[in-house]
Each structure stands twice: as C-alpha cells, then as structure tokens.
Structure 1
C-alpha cells in the first residue's frame, strides 16, 4: 500500500466517507468553510452517527464561514446581507445538530469590531481531516459544495510522522494557538510548517522564497492567487537565467482576476511577464483551489497556504509541507498531467 495518494475532490469525498463510517476512535476535522448543502449534508450525517456511537468527533471551523454565501464573501461587510444572514441561520442549525449529537465544534477567531467589518483579517485557513490517528488528508478542500466542484487536491497519507504533526497541531486554536511560526522535521525528506497568524509574518512564505530561489530548471506554481511580491520577482529573475515557470490558476472570469482590489495582483503579474518566453500563464477551465509548488521535480510545497504574501500580511493561520519525497512528487506530477489542461 502506498504511503501517499493524491486525490481530487470527488475521490477525497468518497475516501473520507469510507474511513469516517468505519472510524473506531476519532474523527477530527479542521476547515475554514462549513456550509450545509450538497456533499456536506452526507458528511454531517456520518459525523452525527459516529458521535452518537461514542466516536470522538471534533470540528474546528473558522468564524469566517459565517460570512460565506455561494462560495464567496464580501471583503468589507458593512451592511448586513439578508442572503448571507438567512444562509447562516441554516448553518447554525447544522452546528446545533452536531453539538446535540456530542460533536465538539469549535469556532476559531471569533470577531471583534475590526474583523466583523473586514473578515479577511486574522483567519484560520487550515484544512485537515484525521481518522483514528491512522489516516489523514491535507490540502485545499473545505466543507462546502463549491469545494467539491473546484480543481483541488488532497494528499491522503498513512505516514505516522505526518499524522503525528497534524494531531499535535489540531488543538492549537484560539487561546491555544502557537505564539510563533513553527517548523519541524516529520522525517528525513518532509518538513511540517505552521504560520501561527502573526500579522506581517509567514514562515511558509519565507520557505517558498528560499526553495523557489534555488530552482535550476523548472517551477510549477498552482494556486487560485497569482505569485506576487518577492516570489514573482524571483521567478522573473530566474527566467532570465533560463528557468522555466508555469503558473496554473483559475479561468479568466474568476473574481480574483476581475474584481477590485483582488485583480491588482493579477494585473501586476500579466504586465510583469508580458513577452517573457520562460514564464507561461495557464488559465484552467474552472476555478483552481490547489496550493502546490513543484521545483525541478525534486522539491514540492503543499498545504493550505496560497503562496501569496497577503496571507502573512493579514495574519492568517496556515499549514504547509516541504517535501523531497520521490513518491509524493511523482504523485503530484501525475496529478498535474492527468487533471490540468494546458
């Protein structure tokens, strides 16, 4: 049996359900979004049954979920939106049913005045799923319908050192969150990194800068957000030395590229790489939510971080892995070849 499997959202959905139904001890989930509806109602039913049967079911979900409607939220929430508020009532009923069954559901980063108006600030963006401390998934998928319709991936693993790192991180929310960013070796070829949510700081982004800066031949960058700031500068510098970069992101009509102020980063990117033969921008046919960088097919970075400097500026809690594991990198290479249309 392989230690790792790279799964698309549909495969992850079926895989997680199978293991959750058979859980013997615990099911722990961390997600930024948690919306009632298609896909999620089925998972909620499984979690309720598990909790009623004595399984330790815990869910960490960020408060920002309560501002989401139809897969998006307003950057500024000054006036109440009836559609958002009505949908959140359905979400709260779902939360109540889970708690009534014995599920421990923790809301992370409840708002103060600033974050109630500007909800992007100080978010917990981490996604992880753990069953019986024996199998885990980490990647970009949240618990909402739209997550299962995006181009996304989850890394399924039975690697004990990686699962141990995730189990250790799971309870570190709210007052238990880490004070400092954190990096630890899982094994000889994989490191686990945590951004603790310090405003203006991101250990993960620094690791990305360092690793990409050492590229010799090629870089594959996959994210819903284009590379920005120092990372973009490094890619351009390397391109003049012959290093080829492929940037894979969502379709051109995605709000990240069409709505102000999000589109500023995209406009800077397209202007900066215009007529650069060594940097290729690929718009996938639907929304991309993967967070993955592969360097020279020798290094890969993946997790919840979008590899944008904005996450650090806003004090976002994130996790990521840096690996040189040949099995994992081969899996990423195959996933890209199978799922992404160039």
Structure 2
C-alpha cells in the first residue's frame, strides 16, 4: 500500500514538473505572428447550415488551392460530406491541404486518412504531443479554424465540422456560433497563419497567395499562441466607455481580467456576459459559476443561453469594436492554445452583431439569486472540484 502511494506521488510530481518546464519552454518559444490593421469585406454566419452550404460550394469551385484547418472534424455524415468535397477537388488536380488538431481530430482514422491520400489530399495532424514535456504538450492544442480558397476567400470563426454544428444533436439542439467569410487583403494574413501551422506540422515553407483585391472595411487579425491574448482582452475592456458584451461557451478568466471587468462596472459601464445553460465538457460550467457570481454581485448582467447550445466567441465594446474568432474566455485559450481572432471596426456590422446578441439574450435564463438558490448539491460539489482544474479548463 505504501509503495503504491509512493508511486502515485512520484507520478504526480513528474506531471507537475513536466507541466512547469513545458510552460517555460512554450513561453520562450511561442510563435508570434504580428499583423497590422488591414482591410476586408465580410459576411457573418450564426448557423451551421448556411455556412456549410457556402463553404462546400466555394471549395468545389476552387481553381488554385484549398488550405483548411479545423480543430475538429467528425466522422459523421457532415464530416463525410466535407471530406468528399475535398477529395473531389483534389482529384481535379487542385492542391488541397488539410490540417486538424491531433486530439480534436481523433476521429480521423487511418482508413479516412488513407482515402484522403489516395485522392490526392495532403493531410497532416497539428500539435502532436511528444517528448519532452509530453503532459504539457498534450494540453497545448491548436484550436484554430481557417479556410483559404484560391488566396481570395477566407473563412474563420468558431464552427468545426460535424452534425453538432448543424444543430442535429438532440442533446444540444440548435447550435449558436459565429463564423466569418472574408475577402480582400485580410485573406493573405489568414493564409499566413495557416501556412505557419502547416510549416509546424510538416517543415514545409510556402508563401501565401497574393491577390490584389480591394476591400473597404478595417479589420485586424490576431493570431495567438498561448501568449498576448490576455493583454488584448485587457486593452479592449479598458477602452470601454459605455458597454461590454461578452459571449463565450467557457468563462474562466484570470485575476487581471476579473479586476478589469470589476473596474469597468465601478466606472458605470454596462457589462453583459452570455454563456450556455448546457455544458458540453465536464466541469467547465461549474468552473465559471464563482466568477459569474462575483460579477453578478458587482452589477453585471449574466445570461444563460437556453435555445440550444451557445458556442459563440465574441467581445463587443461600445458598438465600435467587435472580436470574432476561435478563442474562448478561459485559461486554455489564454495560455495554452493556438487561436486566431478577427477584430472588426465597422459600426454597421457591429450594430447587427449586437442586435443578434441581444436577440439571444431574450432566449436566455437570467443568472440571479433564484437560479443560484436552485443549484443541486452535485453542482455545488462540482464547483469545488472545478476550482482545482481551472488551469486545464
């Protein structure tokens, strides 16, 4: 018995050491991809069906290249349809490169990968765990979702590929998310992000396609690698003068972000936070409750989305700046994952986005004293367990 306890303690110690040394190595070697403000024209998707329809159609019409990264590709009918479009295009002789995260892409079996290869699709896993620092690398995921077609069209946002994202999973129901279709100079920058990930997975260097299409709206790409994202969120919160709207499936902020949000409330700024009522991962909902309760008692308006599952990731400030991308408001996105976000400054677009957000508020349950009082004993116990798991959630 003593020997078993000793072995368990030794394993725990090795994991802690692995994580600490891995974190130090990561911070010293993070991939920094700085981009200046540029221009782009955009279309917003809030539901999977129209997104998939347009995405699949434009892939099928590609003439030059198709480069795609999704964190997760399911092996269900939606996933099979997606892969079939890629195989058809590759058989036409158009170069097709497909990346997926090694853990998120766990359903990409050997037979699926073999079929892709036979059709001419170049497939690779990204962020493959290895030594040294295996445990840390196991937690460091590439969470991006980028598509670049012919160097002219890019898609980026929160949707992955699968039936969940079409609202066909009865457990979650309708799936609320945000995804952008972009054209103009911004496409080159998103292509640069994809090609950097391709280089990380294969060692192959490629230059992004260049098309001199014009666009009128100012935008900025923010590609993060477990650093800088907290700073960007802080800057957005601190510039607010009237209103901050946050939408995220997972809300596990840092102390700096919590302090900034509390200070914004003290300055009289309206703060709204929307999270899903349902949970799609263990403990993430419970981990958020203490933070949400603190902000609620400071005067924030907290909304629990109850018209399906809320997976959108957005931060809207004063109807003058909106962030749409892949990053959640949690420790994993802030300090572990590779993410990519798009900052939009167009007032008309932001007004439409804000209206959609407020429409979703109407389909939400208020986080208030009544809801807190009705929590089950199991939820209260899970809240305490979740406190220990915050760095990994």
Task: Name the counterpart of 1:329.
Answer: 350
Q: 1:3 aligns with which of 26, 41, 44?
A: 41
Task: Name the counterpart of 1:193.
Answer: 222
Give the deviation of 1:31 after TM superposition: 0.9
Q: 2:316 aligns with which of 290, 294, 297?
A: 294
CA–CA distance in structure 1, aligned partners of residues 158 and 117 of structure 2: 25
- In the alignment, is the contact (CA less than 8 A) between 2:41 and 2:216 conserved in 1? no
Give the deviation of 1:17 after TM superposition: 1.5
Give the deviation of 1:54 after TM superposition: 0.8
Q: For each residue in 1:98-146, what CA deviation from the matched residue of structure 2 results, as whole angstroms up to 9, or x when unmatched? A: 1110111111121226887677522111101122221111100112222
Secondary structure of 1:171 counterpart: helix
CA–CA distance in structure 2, aligned partners of residues 329 and 92 of structure 1: 43
Q: 1:125 aligns with which of 143, 148, 169?
A: 143
Give the deviation of 1:300 after TM superposition: 0.9
CA–CA distance in structure 1, aligned partners of residues 130 and 216 of structure 2: 40
Q: Which aligned segments of 4 or more residues in structure 1 are displaced greater than 6 angstroms?
A: none
Task: Name the counterpart of 1:79.
Answer: none
Residue 298 to residue 36, structure 1, CA distance change in 2 (3 Å): same
* Superposition pairs of residues 97-108 of structure 1, within 5 angstroms: 97-108=115-126
Task: Name the counterpart of 1:75.
Answer: none
Give the deviation of 1:287 after TM superposition: 1.9
Q: 1:234 aligns with which of 245, 251, 260?
A: 260
CA–CA distance in structure 1, aligned partners of residues 165 and 158 of structure 2: 8
* TM-score normalised over the length of structure 1: 0.80
1:244 aligns with 2:282: no
Q: For each residue in 1:163-185, what CA deviation from the matched residue of structure 2 results, as whole angstroms up to 9, or x when unmatched? A: 010111111126548xxxxxxxx
* Superposition pairs of residues 245-284 of structure 1, within 5 angstroms: 245-251=271-277, 253-256=278-281, 259-260=282-283, 262-263=284-285, 265-277=287-299, 279-284=300-305
CA–CA distance in structure 1, aligned partners of residues 62 and 273 of structure 2: 39
RMSD over equivalenced CA pairs, Å: 2.6
Residue 66 to residue 56, structure 1, CA distance change in 2 (3 Å): closer
Comparing 214-223 and 129-138, the one that deviates more? 129-138
* Superposition pairs of residues 115-194 of structure 1, within 5 angstroms: 121-149=139-167, 150-158=175-183, 160-173=184-197, 176=200, 189-194=218-223
Number of equivalenced pairs:
302
Task: Name the counterpart of 2:111.
Answer: 93
- In the alignment, is the contact (CA less than 8 A) between 2:91 and 2:119 conserved in 1? yes
- In the alignment, is the contact (CA less than 8 A) between 1:190 and 1:322 conserved in 2? yes
Task: Name the counterpart of 1:212.
Answer: 237
CA–CA distance in structure 1, aligned partners of residues 103 and 354 of structure 2: 33
Q: Which runs of 5+ in 2 are unaligned?
A: 1-39, 168-174, 202-214, 365-393
Give the deviation of 1:65 after TM superposition: 2.2
Q: For each residue in 1:148-204, what CA deviation from the matched residue of structure 2 results, as whole angstroms up to 9, or x when unmatched? A: 33211111122x221010111111126548xxxxxxxx9983221111x3xxx4212
Which of these two proteins has the greater Rg computed from alpha carbons?
2
* TM-score normalised over the length of structure 2: 0.70
CA–CA distance in structure 1, aligned partners of residues 273 and 94 of structure 2: 42
1:305 aligns with 2:327: yes
Secondary structure of 2:72 counterpart: coil
- In the alignment, is the contact (CA less than 8 A) between 2:273 and 2:301 conserved in 1? yes
Q: 1:48 aligns with which of 63, 87, 94?
A: 87
Secondary structure of 1:55 counterpart: coil
Q: 1:36 aligns with which of 66, 72, 75?
A: 75
Give the deviation of 1:220 after TM superposition: 0.8
Give the deviation of 1:293 after TM superposition: 0.4
CA–CA distance in structure 2, aligned partners of residues 167 and 219 of structure 1: 30
Give the deviation of 1:271 after TM superposition: 3.0
